Amino acid sequence: MKTIKVLGTGCANCKTTLRLIEEAAQAAGVEVTLEKVEELSEIMKYGVMSTPGVVLDGQVVHAGGIPSKGAIDGWLADNR
C-alpha cells in the first residue's frame, strides 16, 4: 500500500490534486492511504515552497500546480 500526502493549505488546486489521485488510485485498483496536510509547519518540513505538493512514501514527487494524469498514473504504477 502506498502512502500519499497532498500538501497544501486548502486551495482549489490542492483539492483537485487530492481528488485526481483518489480517482486514479481507484481506477487502477491500487490501495493508497491518502492524507491532506494543511498545517504550514508540516508542509515546510518537506521543503515544499509551492503547493500543491505530493509526497509518496515519504519522498516529495511533485510541487506546484496540479500534477498531470500521466504523472499520477506513474506514481501509482511504481512497485505496485
* Structure letter (DSSP) for residue 63: E
| Predicted TM-score of the model (pTM) | 0.92
Query: For 31-79, what is each residue's pLDDT tens digit?
Result: 999 999 999 999 999 999 999 999 999 999 999 999 999 999 999 997 5
The pLDDT value given to residue 10:
87
Backbone angles phi, psi at 54, to 5 degrees: -125, 130
Rounded to 5°, angle at Cα 28 from 62 and 12: 45
| 51 catalytically annotated | no
The domains found in the chain, sorted by start residue, are: 2-77 (3.40.30.10)
pLDDT of residue 80 exceeding 60, the answer is no
d(CA 41, CA 29): 33
Determine which one of 3, 9, 11, 49 is catalytic.
11
21's CB contacts (< 8 A; 6+ apart) are 4, 6, 32, 34, 54, 72
Determine which one of 4, 6, 7, 14 is catalytic.
14
* Structure letter (DSSP) for residue 52: S
| 11 catalytically annotated | yes
